[in-house]
Chain A
Amino acid sequence: MSIEVKNITKRFGNFLAIDHVSLKIPDCELVALLGPSGSGKTTLLRIIAGLEDFEPGHDSDILFKDKSVVGNRIAERRIGFVFQHYALFRHQTVFENIAFGLRVRRGPGRLSRAQIKDRVMELIHLVQLDNMQKRYPDQLSGGQRQRVALARALAIEPKFLLLDEPFGALDARVRQNLRRWLRRLHDEIKLTSIFVTHDQEEALELADRVIVMNKGRIEQEGSANDVFHRPKNAFVMDFLGSVNLFHGRVVAGRTVFEESPEGKTTEFFVRPHEIELLPDNPDGNGFPATIRRVQLAGSIAKIELTDHGNKEIFVEMSHEKYSLYHFDVNARVFVVPKKTVIFAEDYSI
């Protein structure tokens, strides 16, 4: 089922949390709402879920499968919501937590005791918590709680799954595993899902589509590849990985970097892995800098340099490439950007 958000605005007092946002999420996709804290991503998720209202506007609307759900009760929206800190019912066991949505159901969809039990045990198996149904939330690890929260949300057979910072409270290792598990689960159950995160790596790895938010607005949306390789503006470029900013001019089709920019200069953005370091400057494309730190522990070599103006430059290269030159700390080298990005609008980062 698709989700469409039309021209939604939300204010908390004077703070503009969501600024005329519209977006469309196609069926069965796993979408990441990515942005720094305060960018409005969680608020947007809560508005979609119906946990938060929005400012009425003449064309503001939220549509599930092309039908407006504004004014519908939350129960009618059939949304599985996984809260940031799980919000498990602390006085209920794993079984009771997962069964909650089924037990409070009224009307024709109500299940019998035996049906509820079957469904809950099935979900417990799905989230790999077999034999844990009698435990209480405080007897579980963070990753297990997360999976209980997920099973509880899935129990009501939701049409969508909304996850608020699903891995925020977990340590790095558990996070990695759970991330891959969630991706496989999504491919299995094929539920339109949106998750909120401030971790670009998580968004790029997990999502079919990434929506980058900043200051209550959508900066860019597209596939993970798209937003990473073709960022629309400096904010997106900066937020999706580290970036170097250089000043310079384009003179006769060639980029000339200036150490102390005077007058009107252009800003060039260069990713750390798009920079080459050379011992000399045969083409005149580079500028000199001094190596300050070399970090070799990891899958790539990370090198920190400073230029004449003491501006920091970050470079990443493969270990193979690094072993060609073996740069020492305090060595003077030439920095040659291979691929620079220029944005028409000026953004400060």
Chain B
Amino acid sequence: MKNKTTRWSDRVIPILMITLTLLFVSLFLIIPLISIFTEAFRQGTRAYLESFKDEYAWSAIRLTLITAGIAVPMNVVFGVMAAWCITKFQFRGKNILITLIDLPFAISPVIAGLIFVLAFGQRTALGAWLIDHDIKIIFAAPGIVLATVFVTFPFVARELIPLMQEQGTLEEEAAVSLGAGGWSIFWRVTLPNIKWGLLYGLILCNARAMGEFGAVSVVSGHIRGETNTVPLYIETLYAGYSTVAAFSMATLLAGLAIITLIAKSIVEWKVKRGRRNTET
């Protein structure tokens, strides 16, 4: 009898867990996603497309693309550099550097935005100098780019550090012994070994750069047609009761998320395969 009850619970518990998980996922992830699309198309396809005819919508999309277009390459370059020096060299203060890379993850994006507002505000010497020379950082596109770079900084570095640590420095040493210089070593040996990990970090970095709200919201000033990114514009529309337009814009971000997830899974699979090759 006892044996039978164990078997019964063995069968029920996994089913129960799976059901609960599915329920949770659909309630918190799938239903909201569907509702974005249903709300966007509530008044038909025409109303949906109408939302994109607005010039403010286009300027928001443009600003988002420009911001990501600057922030992502910057973070790729700095992320690779940081990961390279952390994993391939021994130096003092290495742990401090690793901690600093994590800083943007540790503090609230709103605080991050506020730091920039304070740093470039009228009260600081730097801010005053900028105002004197008529250079706008805060409440302008440069501020948005800065805030985005700050918030998305860890993605590439965090992805590469463990990967490069695992790969070690043996191949680089071999390249050195064969007479290669630093630049050749990076392009011919290190980069091919980390390319999938790098792409993975880049995808996550891009998704966050395009979707960032908190930090950007603080530094933007919400000037329609000038300093509104897509997430900020959605909020403006929604607050102004333009529900269909807000959800139409939201479908862009939702679409980006879906594409990101697919790309991420493909790259993840590639990274795994690369790791397996390392082991053999």
Contact = CB atoms under 8 A, between A and B. Distances in A.
Partners in one complex: yes
Interface of A: 49, 51, 74-75, 79-81, 83, 85, 87-92, 100-101, 103-106, 138, 152-153, 155-156
B188 A79 contact: no
B178 A101 contact: yes
Across the A-B interface, give the 6 residue pairs with the lowest CB-CB distance, nearest first: A101-B178, A75-B179, A91-B192, A87-B170, A87-B174, A81-B177
Interface of B: 170-171, 173-181, 184, 188-189, 192-193, 277-278, 280
Contact of B189 (A81, A85, A89): A89
A104 B178 contact: yes
A51 B171 contact: no
A89 B173 CA distance: 11
B178 A100 contact: yes
* Most chain B CB neighbours (cut-off 10 Å) among A81, A104, A155: A104
A138 B275 CA distance: 12
A101 B176 CA distance: 9
A89 B174 contact: yes
A152 B175 CA distance: 10
Contact of A105 (B179, B188, B189): B179
Nearest to A46: B173
B185 to A, nearest CB: 8
Contact of A100 (B173, B188, B193, B277): B188
B177 A90 contact: no
A80 B178 CA distance: 7
17 contacts: A51-B173, A51-B176, A75-B176, A75-B180, A87-B171, A87-B174, A89-B171, A89-B175, A89-B188, A89-B189, A91-B192, A91-B193, A100-B178, A103-B188, A104-B178, A104-B179, A153-B177
Contacts of A83: 170, 173-174
Given A85-B170, A104-B181, 10 more contacts: A74-B177, A75-B176, A75-B179, A75-B180, A90-B193, A90-B278, A91-B193, A100-B188, A105-B179, A153-B177
B171 A90 contact: yes
A108 to B, nearest CB: 14
A113 B30 CA distance: 56
Nearest to B174: A87
A44 B213 CA distance: 56
A3 B188 CA distance: 31
Contacts of A85: 170
A223 B272 CA distance: 49
* Most chain A CB neighbours (cut-off 10 Å) among B170, B178, B277: B178
A84 to B, nearest CB: 9
Contacts of B175: 89, 100, 104
A169 B180 CA distance: 26
A74 B176 contact: yes
B217 to A, nearest CB: 43
A261 B33 CA distance: 87
A31 B195 CA distance: 41
A152 B178 contact: yes
A49 B277 CA distance: 29
A146 B119 CA distance: 58
B270 to A, nearest CB: 13
Given A85-B170, A90-B171, A90-B278, A104 B176 contact: no
B173 to A, nearest CB: 6
A306 B149 CA distance: 75
A116 to B, nearest CB: 13
B17 to A, nearest CB: 38
Contacts of A74: 176-177, 179
* Most chain B CB neighbours (cut-off 10 Å) among A75, A88, A90, A101: A90
Contacts of B278: 90
A149 to B, nearest CB: 8
Contacts of A87: 170-171, 173-174
Contact of A138 (B170, B176, B177, B277): B277
A90 B193 CA distance: 8
B280 A138 contact: yes
Nearest to B176: A74
A205 B176 CA distance: 31
A74 B173 CA distance: 10
Nearest to A79: B177
A90 B174 CA distance: 12
A156 B174 contact: no
Contacts of A100: 175, 178, 180, 188
A155 B180 CA distance: 13
A104 B184 contact: yes
A163 to B, nearest CB: 12
B177 A51 contact: yes
A89 B189 CA distance: 7
Contacts of B184: 104
A138 to B, nearest CB: 5
B117 to A, nearest CB: 45
Contacts of A138: 277, 280
A83 B189 CA distance: 16
B181 A90 contact: no
Contacts of A75: 176, 179-181
Contacts of A105: 179
A43 to B, nearest CB: 14
Contacts of A92: 192
Contact of A104 (B170, B173, B180, B193): B180
Given A101-B179, A104-B180, A81 B174 contact: yes
A100 B184 CA distance: 10
Nearest to B276: A138
B21 to A, nearest CB: 37
Nearest to A80: B177
A86 to B, nearest CB: 8
Contacts of A90: 171, 193, 277-278
